[in-house]
Structures are given as structure tokens and as C-alpha cells.
Amino acid sequence: MPNVNELLEIAKAEINYLNLGEVFLVRDLFKGYEWNRISRSDRLLLGTLFLNFMRNENSRAKVIEKTSSGQQKYRISDRQKEDF
């Protein structure tokens, strides 16, 4: 199982495959069985690291509202596709 920093790099790379205007959660960037294999503590840390990346880096995605269950939602913006 990859460590949290490796998971963050995977998530950052996956946003390049999303379409303009698409809304997603961090968990959407992983296959269901991959996400389920990540420990809860690592998923929480990954969510925090991904949120910090979105807020601090020049990214294709914008932070938007949270879901009713407290998961952060993101939307792909019109910025140029970038390789992370």
C-alpha cells in the first residue's frame, strides 16, 4: 500500500483526466477497492493534504462546498491542464 504522500501524488495526477466543470471528491480519484484499502486515518490525512494543495498551488480544481457528510467537494476550473 502506498504511503500518504504517494497517494497524494496519485490524486494530483488523476485530476488531469477530469473534464471542465466536473465536480469530484478525493475518493472519486481512486478505484473503489483502492479507496477502501486505505486506512481511515490515512484517508483523513490525504483529504487534508489534498485540500491544502488545492488552496496553495496553481491548480485546475477549485475548492467548493462540502457534502452533507462533511466531504470536501472540488470543481475543475477553466485553467490550462497541468501536469503535477
Q: Is the predicted pLDDT of residue 84 greater than 70, yes or no?
A: no
Phi-psi category of residue 57: left, alpha or beta, with phi > 0 → left and psi -120 to 50 → alpha: beta
Q: What is the pTM of this model?
A: 0.86
Q: Hey, how many other C-beta atoms are within 10 angstroms of the C-beta on 77? A: 12
| Residue 60 neighbours by CB distance under 10 Å | 20
Give me the sign of the Cα torsion angle 74, 23, 44, 11. negative
The predicted structure's pLDDT at residue 77: 86
Give 17-63 pLDDT, tens digit per residue. Answer: 999 999 999 999 999 999 999 999 999 999 999 999 999 986 788 99
Q: 84 lies in a domain?
A: no
Domain housing 44: 4-76
Is 82 inside a domain boundary? no
Is residue 46 assigned to a domain? yes
Q: How many domains is the chain partitioned into structurally?
A: 1
Sign of CA dihedral 14, 50, 55, 69: positive
Residue 80: the pLDDT is 52
